[in-house]
Amino acid sequence: MYKLYHNPNCSKSRAALKYIHESSIPCEVITYLSAPLTEQDLLRVKKKLVQNKLELVRITDKAFEALNLNHDLSENDIVPLLMEHPELMQRPILETENKAAIGRPLENILNIL
């Protein structure tokens, strides 16, 4: 079963969810802002990412800038930051049994289906 980490306020996330529904792909949809990921969840997703792990954080987001955070994050900074500020997690993310991909662009998700 696939898992889609979804933010309904994000057009890319809505597009990914629409594609999954239209393709009848069995998928658990996790609205991570209302049900934040645990440390274990974040570590698992980060480990599976096919992209650069640092891309998991939205460093160009206004919320990131408002927190006056350093753009030079290390991999060790990611999980604690996203546990405290889940709104900074890149979206959407599709997780399969062995891989995860950030759906920016949507083709990243299609490549792991």
For residue range 60-84, list pLDDT tens digits in order. 889 888 888 877 888 889 999 999 9
Q: How many domains does the chain have?
A: 1
Tell me what the mean pLDDT of segment 34-56 comes to.
91
Task: Strand 2-6: give its sheet, edge to edge.
Answer: 27-31, 2-6, 93-95, 100-102
CATH label of the domain that carries residue 85: 3.40.30.10
Beta carbons of 111 and 101 less than 8 angstroms apart = yes
In order, the DSSP letters of 48-92 are HBSS-GGGGB-TTSHHHHHTT--S---HHHHHHHHHH-GGGB-S-
Instruction: Give the 3-state secondary structure of residue 36.
Output: coil
Asked if pLDDT for residue 107 goes beyond 90, the answer is: yes
- The enclosing H or E element of 104 equals none
- Asked about 27 being catalytic, the answer comes back as no
Which of 2, 5, 8, 10 is catalytic? The answer is 10
In sequence order, the 6+-apart residues with CB closer than 8 A to the CB of 57 are: 64, 73, 78, 81, 82, 88, 89, 90
Q: What is the domain range of residue 76?
A: 2-110
pLDDT at 98 (0 to 100):
95
pTM: 0.92
pLDDT at 75 (0 to 100):
86
What does the alpha-carbon distance between residue 101 and residue 113 come to, in Å, rounded to a whole number?
10
Alpha-carbon dihedral of residues 14, 19, 21, 23, nearest 10 degrees? 180
